[in-house]
Structure 1
Amino acid sequence: MKSAKGSIGRSVDEPDPRIRFYLFHGDDEAQSSALGERLVSALKASKQSVAPGVLRGDPALLADEAGAIDMFGGAKVIWVQPATEDVVPAVEALLEAAAAESPVVAIAGKLSKSSALMKLADAHPLALSQISYELDARDAERLVVEMARTEGLRPQQGVAARIAQSCANDRRMMAAELSKLALYLNASPEVPKDLDAQALDAVGADMGGDFSEIGDLALSGDVRGLSNELARLQTSGNHAIPVLRSLQRRLLMLAPLRTRVDAGESPQAVMTSLGKALFWKQKPLVEKLLGMWDSTGLARVSERAGALERSLMRGDAPPEGEALGEELLTIARQARRR
C-alpha cells in the first residue's frame, strides 16, 4: 500500500509486523536509503544484502531468505539495492509466501508511472511504498536542524540554511558535514553544543574553494598530473581538508549514477539522461569515471577519504600534505588497475 502523507516516519520507526516488503523510490535515493536504515535501527536488526541480479535468476530466493530464521537468533532485514523491474517476480513470491520472518527493503531510483514494481507495492496490503522527492531549500534547512539534534548540535540563526546550501541539499553530504562539526566541537546528544558561524567557517563544506580537479586526477588514474598538482599545493599552503571535501562531493555525485549502471544502464545512457544538469565540459570525465569505478570501489574511496579527514581534524594523522598525497596517489594507482 502507498504510505499516507506524513505517516512514513511512524511507519519505519514503529514498523507494522505484518508488512513484509518496503519499497522506497524516487529522485532522492539518499532519503530512500535513510528511511530503510531507520527501519533497520527500529527493528534492532542486521542488514543482509541480496543482489538484484541474483533475484533475476532465482526469484524464489527472496521469499526463502525472508522466511529463514537468522542463525544467530537476531532480527534481520533483507536489503535489495538497486531494485528494478527485474525483481518483480521475486517480490510477488515473497508476498504470496505463507509467512516471512524478516522484512525486505528495496531501494529504487525514479520509477515510471507504469512501473510494475511500484504498482505491486502500492496495491498489496503486505507492502508499503514511499516516494522520496528531492529536497527544496526550506525542507533541507529543517532537515539539517533535525539531523544536527541527533549529533548534539544546536544550529544558531542562519547556520542550518548555510549548511544546506553548501551541500546542495544533499542528505548524505549534510549528514557527513554535521558529523564532522560534532567532532570538531566535541558535541554529543549527552553534551550538546551550539553550532555557530565561527565553527562553520573553520570546518564547513564551503571552506577553501574548489579543488575538484585534484580529486578527479586521482580518480582517473593520472599519477603524473596528480603529482604535479600536489607539488604545487605544497608551495601554496596546506589544503588537505578542502581537497578531501571536493573529492567527496565528486563521489557523492558519482555514486547514484553508478548504481544505475549496476542496474543495467550503460554509462552513455546515464549521461544522456542528465541533460543540462551537468556542465557539458564535465561529461566526458564523468562518463569515464563511471566506466572505471564500480559502486564498491566508490564506497571504499569515500570511506577512506572520510576517515582521513576525521583523522586530520583530530590531529592524529601525519602532516596534512604528506597524508593527503599518500591517499590520493593510492587512489590513482588503484584507478590505473581498473
Structure 2
Amino acid sequence: MKATQKTFKGTIATAVRQARVFYFCGPDEAGAADAAALAASHFPEGEKVELSGADLRRDPVRLADEARSVSLFGDKRVIHVRTAGDEAFEAVETLLASPVDGWPVLIVATSATDKSRIAKLLENRPDALVTMFHPPDVRSVTGAVREMGDAAGVRITGELAERIAKATALDTRMARSEVEKLALYLDASPQAPRSADAAALDAVGAVSEDDSFSPLVNAVLNGETARLPGELARMRELEMNPVGLLLAFERRAAQLAQLAGRMGPRGDVNAFMEGEMQARRVFFRDKPDLTQQLRRWRGKRLERLVDRLFELHRTLLGDNRNGELMLAQGLAEIARAAAAAR
C-alpha cells in the first residue's frame, strides 16, 4: 500500500489492521517520525524495541528475529527502526521472507524517498504501507501547532502558533514539546482548556537552555576541534544534562536534513541559505553556522551523523552514570569527522 502525506491520517486506522511493515521517508524527518508515533499509538501498548540501520546492516537477520521474538513477560512488541537510505534493505527483505507475520515494524528512513529500494519492495504489498513526507512550510506547521494545542486543551492564537513554528525550525516534534510544556504551565487539559499568551510561552520556552547548548553544537558540527576542549569543559562546569544536550544535536541534524532536502543535491549553499533567511525559515543569527554545517553534512555524511546520534542517545539512556564521558567521546568523534570534510 502507498499513502500520500495528505491521505496518511485518513488511512492509518485501516492500515494498522492490514499491514505489518510501515515505511516513512522523505526530507521531512520530523513528519516521518510523527507518522511512526501515530501508527504506534494504534497498536496495543507493549515493549518498544529500537534498532538502527547500522545494526541491521551488520546483522540483516536481526529484524526478523526481533519481530518474531516474545519478551520475557510475554508482552506485545512494536519494532522501531531508524535508518538512512537503503542500509536496512537486506533486513527488510529477510523479514518479508519470514512465514510468520510477527510484530509490527515501523521504519523511519531519513534521506530516503519513495523511490528507494525498500519503498519499491513494500509499496505494492497489502501487508505494508509506504508514505513520503515533504518539507513543511510555516503555514502548515502553524496549523499543526494550533491542532496540538486544541488536543492538549491550550488555546493558541495564529500569531503565537506561528512563533512556535518558527522557533522550532518547523520541526513538529519540537513544537509538540513546547505545546505540552504550555499545557503543564497553564494547568490546561481538554476538559479545562486555557488560553496561552506570549508571556506563558516565554516562561516555558527552552530559549535559554538552547542558547547554552548552541556554542557546543556549532563547535562540533562545524569541525572546530580547537574550540572543542573549552566547550566540553563548559559542559562539565554548567552540568549540562547529557540527554538534553544530545537532543539539541538531534534537532540541528533534523534541521540540516530539512534544509538539504529543500536544496537538493547540486544547490548553491550560499544562495540557498540566503533564500531561506529571506523566507524566515532560518534565523539570521544561525545562518553562518548552518551554512558551514550544510556544506559538511549532506548525503551519506548526514545519514551517518543521524545514525551516530541515534546510537549515542540509546547508549546514554542505557548508562546514565557514564553519560557525560560517553557523550564527550562521541562529540569529539563527530567534530573530527566534520573537520575532515572541510
TM-score, normalised by the number of residues in structure 2:
0.67
For residue 253 of structure 2, what is the aligned residue in structure 1? 254
Secondary structure of 1:16's aligned partner: helix
CA distance in 2, matches of 1:54, 1:99: 22
Q: Unpaired segments of 5 or more residues in structure 1? A: 234-239, 259-269, 304-326
Secondary structure of 1:24's aligned partner: strand
CA deviation map 1:38-86 (0-9, x unaligned): 2222212322123323433443332232223343222211121114323
CA contact (8 A) 1:29 1:109 kept: yes
CA distance in 2, matches of 1:256, 1:157: 23
Letter in 1 for 2:177: A
CA deviation map 1:208-267 (0-9, x unaligned): 996665444886764546889999x9xxxxxx9xxxx99965541135769xxxxxxxxx
Secondary structure of 1:78's aligned partner: strand
Correspondence list, 1:231-250, <5 A? none
Q: Unpaired segments of 5 or more residues in structure 2? A: 258-263, 274-286, 318-322, 335-342
CA distance in 1, matches of 2:254, 2:36: 18
CA distance in 1, matches of 2:100, 2:305: 42
CA distance in 2, matches of 1:134, 1:193: 31
CA contact (8 A) 2:218 2:289 kept: no
CA contact (8 A) 2:146 2:161 kept: yes
Q: Cα–Cα, structure 1 residues 19 and 328, in superposed 2: closer, same or farther, change >3 Å?
A: closer
Once the two structures are TM-superposed, the CA of residue 187 in structure 1 deviates from its matched residue by 2.3
Letter in 2 for 1:160: A
Once the two structures are TM-superposed, the CA of residue 296 in structure 1 deviates from its matched residue by 4.6
The answer on 1:172 being equivalent to 2:173 is: yes
For residue 275 of structure 1, what is the aligned residue in structure 2? 269
Once the two structures are TM-superposed, the CA of residue 171 in structure 1 deviates from its matched residue by 1.1
CA contact (8 A) 1:217 1:225 kept: no
Secondary structure of 2:93's aligned partner: helix
Greater Cα radius of gyration, structure 1 or 2 = 1
For residue 41 of structure 2, what is the aligned residue in structure 1? 41
Moved more, 143-152 or 126-135: 143-152
Correspondence list, 1:1-338, <5 A? 1-3=1-3, 6-13=6-13, 15-43=15-43, 44-112=45-113, 114-204=115-205, 214-216=215-217, 222=228, 224=230, 251-254=250-253, 275-276=269-270, 279=287, 294-296=308-310, 299=313
Moved more, 69-78 or 102-111: 69-78
CA deviation map 1:308-331 (0-9, x unaligned): xxxxxxxxxxxxxxxxxxx99997
Moved more, 291-300 or 151-160: 291-300
Q: Relative contact order, CA 8 A, sep 6+: which one is greater?
A: 2
What value does the CA root-mean-square deviation take over the aligned residues? 4.5
CA deviation map 1:265-302 (0-9, x unaligned): xxxxx9998934564555557859x8999415764899
Letter in 1 for 2:251: L
TM-score, normalised by the number of residues in structure 1:
0.67
For residue 263 of structure 1, what is the aligned residue in structure 2? none
Count of residue correspondences: 294
Identity of aligned residues (%): 30
